[in-house]
Chains A and B, each alone.
Chain A
Amino acid sequence: MKITEALEIFSQTHPGMVRSHNEDSVACEPSCGLVVLADGMGGYNAGEVASGIAVSVVVTEVSHALSDSSPIDLDKESGVELGVELLRDNIQKANASIFHAAESQPQYSGMGTTIVSGLFYDNRVATGHVGDSRMYRLRGETLESITRDHSLLQEQIDGGIISIEDARLSKNKNLVTRAVGIDAEVVPEIHVHDVLVGDIYLLCSDGLNDMVEDDDIQATLYALQNNLPLAASQLIQMANDNGGRDNVSVILVKVKNKFSASRGWLGKLLAWFER
């Protein structure tokens, strides 16, 4: 099954109820199963610039590379799958672009962005993220965050300093410990997860998960899984009804069918018959 037929993708972004402009950027490239979301930070419009660069670098470069190669190919130097390598390399490339733009233009000084990206291939998803934008997975009735925030609060939770329940009351929610474009180099966190038919993946900026409880996100995705546009606008509406203090962006990916990658000539032949 071709990836475009196996996945249903929908994205939406909203400035929220307080902020005058939207520093989030989202992009989807259904032809290669790629989704990217970034939440920018920095004065004036620098936040938008940073998140915009991050999203466009990753989408352009990854889809260009995949136009003449397969994500399951192994990288010649590292022996790592190309899908994984592409996410890592291009988040780093985005980092360099933002960093240099910020260095060369004073109005962009100090700008940066979070990023969360997913590349779906061969019944798997490779995730690459930096900062506190998240990817959740709804499988059956269970909603789970499959990325771990790079934030002070998450480190405190991991260290046992603060419980998950208490973390909701913390006033240190807005501090990320890693971001794209702040330093000359960045280490993206990359993981690969198996995908099942029926899974729904949610990529979101913290404007969603800071305003809406996970239980409500779960209820919405579960109830509205057959209508992704409605699910997306419902999530944004809940964030805004609860105050909408930040920009809120969501990308939803629903897995409708299997999407095995074709291996060798036999696989390609079988894939041709599967069509």
Chain B
Amino acid sequence: MAAKLILSMDGAVIKEYPLNKERMTIGRKEHNDVAIDNLAVSGEHAAIVTILHDSFLEDLDSTNGLEVNGTPTKKHFLQNNDVIGIGKYKLKYISDQVTQTTPADFEKTMVMRTPPKQAAAQNESKPAAPGVVQPQAGSKPVPVEAVEKTGKFDAQSPAAPATPVQAAAPATPAAAAKPAPQAATPQQVAVVQVLTGPNAGKELELVKNLTTLGKPGLQVAVLTRRPQGFFITHVEGESFPLVNGQALTNQAHQLKEHDVIELAGVKMEFYFKG
């Protein structure tokens, strides 16, 4: 199912519009796909271009402009639940298609045929021999039509800036972003404190996913942050680091609070702070 727009004013829903066209226009005049009969709305106010699962909003040089989530914008890559503001009207963008297909289905790599004319335009190398187009029964190819849509979009927005407007981008929705690895105890900061040697007393906060300790060429270990906690692994050096007096093996070793690490002759304690 396609994504949709929900038009409302003062919290009252007026109408829903499925984004079932490659390009949909919003404006005061009747021929627009989303026609809003209000003088604050320009005749052709904005357009939404949809390329497969991604939709882009652009201002068509309207008199009163556009807002997305309260921020004025000219061009915006729409994310689920974004609210477009045009005058007193709100258009909510809903793209819950992730629920329509299973993630596994969804992320399978698929091939998209490039029409020869486009291939010729994009690289100097010769396109695949014309006339040898084969039907593909097994995979689920994207219809060539989709590629051509992309081409059309290019043609229709020659003024598209080389670098789309960024300032207006809202905070990235967590759901769509790459899942960030989280420490077992997100509110606490893991720390390694040096116990011996000239740096005794110094603390090193383990804020990165990967922290190396030791002296290159002599002995190096790496501390990695994983969903289930922190791990220490031997990287290089003849001898292996000690944890609570026990030498590590080639395997990663999960650290517990107050473990004492001994590496390149220096003792360190691992614990959580805060």
Contact = CB atoms under 8 A, between A and B. Distances in A.
**Which of B106, B112, B153 neighbours the largest number of chain A CB atoms within 10 Å of its CB?**
B112
Nearest to A178: B114
A171 B112 contact: no
B112 A206 contact: no
B77 A220 contact: no
Contacts of B111: 41, 112, 175-179, 182
A183 B210 contact: no
Interface string A213-236: 100100110011011001000100
B65 interface: no
B110 A185 contact: no
Interface of B: 51-54, 56, 77, 79, 95, 97-98, 103-104, 106-114, 122-123, 125-129, 132-134, 136-139, 141-142, 147, 150, 153-154, 160-164, 166, 169, 172-173, 176-181, 208-210, 212, 216, 220, 222, 224, 226-227, 233, 235-236
A175 B179 contact: no
A246 B103 CA distance: 11
Contacts of B226: 237, 241
B163 A163 contact: yes
A211 B177 CA distance: 10
- Provide the main secondary structure of the chain A interface: loop
B178 A242 contact: yes
Contacts of B227: 241
B227 to A, nearest CB: 6
28 contacts: A18-B103, A42-B138, A43-B139, A106-B137, A156-B150, A160-B163, A161-B56, A162-B77, A163-B163, A166-B169, A170-B77, A171-B54, A172-B53, A174-B109, A176-B110, A177-B114, A179-B111, A183-B113, A187-B123, A187-B127, A211-B178, A213-B178, A219-B208, A219-B210, A224-B212, A226-B235, A237-B224, A245-B103
Contact of B138 (A109, A132, A169, A189): A109
A159 B212 contact: no
A184 B132 contact: yes
A238 to B, nearest CB: 7
A196 interface: no
A152 interface: yes
B78 to A, nearest CB: 10
A259 interface: no
Given A175-B52, A185-B128, A163 B164 contact: yes
B109 A183 contact: no
A193 interface: no
Nearest to A18: B104
A201 interface: no
A243 interface: yes
Contacts of B113: 177, 182-183
A223 B222 contact: yes
B86 to A, nearest CB: 22
B209 A238 contact: yes
A111 interface: yes
A165 interface: yes
B56 to A, nearest CB: 7
B222 A224 contact: yes
A169 B210 contact: no
A263 interface: no
B52 A172 contact: yes
A160 B160 contact: yes
A264 to B, nearest CB: 33
Given A46-B138, A159-B154, A163-B164, A223 B212 contact: yes
A114 interface: yes
A160 B162 contact: yes
A39 interface: yes
Contacts of B79: 169
A41 B166 contact: no
B129 A111 contact: no
B262 to A, nearest CB: 19
A185 B224 CA distance: 45
B137 A110 contact: yes
B75 to A, nearest CB: 10
Would you list the 7 A-B pairs with minimal beta carbon distance, nearest first? A110-B138, A110-B136, A171-B53, A110-B139, A184-B132, A109-B138, A160-B162
Contacts of B176: 169, 171
